[in-house]
């Protein structure tokens, strides 16, 4: 997630540099050809690029909207994970007998590991890194053998609950009640995976780029009698605006790609760890140090 301050200009420029170079080439090439064939080339009325520009803003607005919705839905699902994590611990403490606090702690730690593993698996990273203090060695080995690591961790917790139920440590009503929370966590896991795997209609992006280049070319032709000194910066600045918004949308639409604009899943998992440790009554964890970059992950 990009923070509000300290965004370096380099970062901004990097985002659209390739598009700007192409735009520059397209614009310059068009103008060069326009000057060459100036006698044959008739007047291109400015109304054409003007309405194209308006249309681009409308089409960009749709894309921005849907991309933001995906990002926000991803954030909301991680928000549900935060809520259900807190609720899970409160429920375990409420419905398990006092002499089972060790079992509660074990399930709680495994759940924290699940949060980290889910975030890393979404980003295509090694899932079990930094979970040594949360999962035992044999558990890690068992999980790694499976295809879907977070699902395997979740099943370990479901099995623990089942064992506690068989030993009558919890009654059937409490078991169902806690199982429903695990069901909601399963839903959130499935939800973020859905966003991660579903490709936003990629043909739409192609058309959008196509129309932006059409805009640049028609604008270059229609301004062919105006000095390069004014037209080239104008072309670049306007298309920079369009490409920038398109790129923001493109980044938002896939919020788990290990990019600065990601939903900050590691940061959220750390918050969950802090909250759960507080609920378990562990000594207060030192506040995390402020971010050193213009983003948090």
Q: Scanning residues 228 to 267, which ones bind a second copy (CB under 8 A)? A: 229-230, 234, 237-238, 240-241, 244-245, 248, 252, 261
Q: Is 12 in the site for a second copy (CB under 8 A)?
A: yes
Tell me the two tokens of residue 9: 């200009």
CB 131, min distance to a second copy, A: 19
Name which position in 8, 36, 57, 136 contacts a second copy (CB under 8 A): 57
CB 18, min distance to a second copy, A: 16
Residue with smaller CB distance to a second copy, 76 or 105: 76
CB 71, min distance to a second copy, A: 8
Alpha helices in 100-201 (DSSP H): 101-122, 137-145, 149-166, 172-197
Half-sphere exposure of 141 (CA within 13 A, CB side): 3
Q: How far is CA 187 from CA 39, 70, 74, 252, in A?
A: 65, 16, 12, 22
Annotate each residue in 179-198 with x if it binds a second copy (CB under 8 A) or - if it does not, as one string.
Answer: x-xxx--xx-xxx-xx---x
CB 134, min distance to a second copy, A: 19
Name which position in 20, 24, 48, 169 contacts a second copy (CB under 8 A): 48
Residue with smaller CB distance to a second copy, 37 or 132: 37
Name which position in 14, 124, 210, 293 contacts a second copy (CB under 8 A): 210
Residue with smaller CB distance to a second copy, 58 or 102: 58
| Distance (Å, whole) CA 214 – CA 52 | 8
Stretch that binds a second copy, among 18-26, 109-117, 130-138, 215-223 (CB under 8 A): 215-223
| Distance (Å, whole) CA 199 – CA 178 | 34
Place of tokens 């992006």: 205
Residue with smaller CB distance to a second copy, 125 or 233: 233
**Which residues within the stretch 59-88 sit at the binding site for a second copy (CB under 8 A)?**
59-62, 64-66, 68, 71, 75-76, 79-80, 82-83, 86-87
Task: Answer for the pair 157, 189: CB distance below 8 angstroms, yes or no.
Answer: no
Q: Which residues contact 195 (CB under 8 A, 6 or more apart)?
A: 70, 73, 74, 77, 254, 255, 256
Stretch that binds a second copy, among 17-25, 123-131, 133-141, 282-290 (CB under 8 A): 282-290
| Distance (Å, whole) CA 212 – CA 166 | 64
**By rule CB under 8 A, what count of residues binds a second copy?**
115
CB 180, min distance to a second copy, A: 8
Task: Answer for the pair 155, 127: CB distance below 8 angstroms, yes or no.
Answer: no
**Which residues within the stretch 111-170 sit at the binding site for a second copy (CB under 8 A)?**
145-148, 151-152, 154-155, 158-159, 161-162, 165
Name which position in 39, 102, 138, 203 contacts a second copy (CB under 8 A): 203
Residue with smaller CB distance to a second copy, 138 or 284: 284
Q: Which residues contact 88 (CB under 8 A, 6 or more apart)?
A: 108, 111, 178, 181, 182, 185
- Chain centroid to CA 67: how far? 10
Alpha helices in the chain (DSSP H): 9-36, 47-95, 101-122, 137-145, 149-166, 172-197, 202-222, 228-252, 265-279
């Amino acid at each position: 997630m990009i923070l509000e301050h300290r965004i370096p200009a380099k970062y901004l420029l990097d985002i659209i540099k390739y598009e700007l170079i192409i735009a520059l080439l397209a614009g310059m090439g068009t103008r060069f050809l326009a000057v060459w064939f100036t006698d044959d080339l008739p007047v291109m009325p400015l109304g054409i690029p003007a309405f194209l520009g308006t249309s681009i803003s409308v089409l960009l607005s749709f894309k921005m909207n849907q991309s933001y919705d995906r990002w926000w839905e991803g954030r909301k699902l991680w928000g549900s994970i935060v809520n259900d994590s807190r609720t899970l611990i409160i429920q375990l403490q409420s419905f398990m007998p006092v002499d089972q606090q060790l079992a509660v702690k074990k399930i709680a730690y495994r759940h924290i590991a699940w949060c980290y593993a889910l975030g890393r698996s979404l980003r295509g990273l090694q899932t079990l890194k930094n979970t040594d203090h949360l999962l035992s060695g044999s558990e890690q080995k068992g999980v790694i053998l499976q295809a879907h690591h977070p699902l395997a961790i979740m099943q370990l917790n479901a099995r623990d609950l089942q064992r506690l139920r068989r030993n009558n440590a919890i009654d059937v009503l409490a078991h169902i009640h806690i199982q429903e929370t695990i069901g909601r966590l399963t839903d959130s896991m499935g939800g973020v995976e859905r966003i991660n795997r579903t490709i936003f209609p990629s043909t739409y992006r192609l058309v959008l780029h196509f129309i932006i280049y059409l805009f640049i070319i028609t604008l270059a032709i229609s301004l062919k009698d105006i000095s390069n000194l004014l037209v080239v910066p104008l072309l670049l600045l306007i298309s920079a605006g369009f490409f920038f918004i398109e790129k923001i949308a493109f980044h938002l639409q896939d919020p788990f790609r290990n990019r600065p604009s990601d939903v900050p899943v590691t940061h959220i998992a750390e918050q969950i760890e802090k909250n759960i440790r507080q609920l378990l009554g562990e000594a207060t964890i030192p506040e995390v140090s402020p971010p050193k970059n213009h983003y948090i992950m």
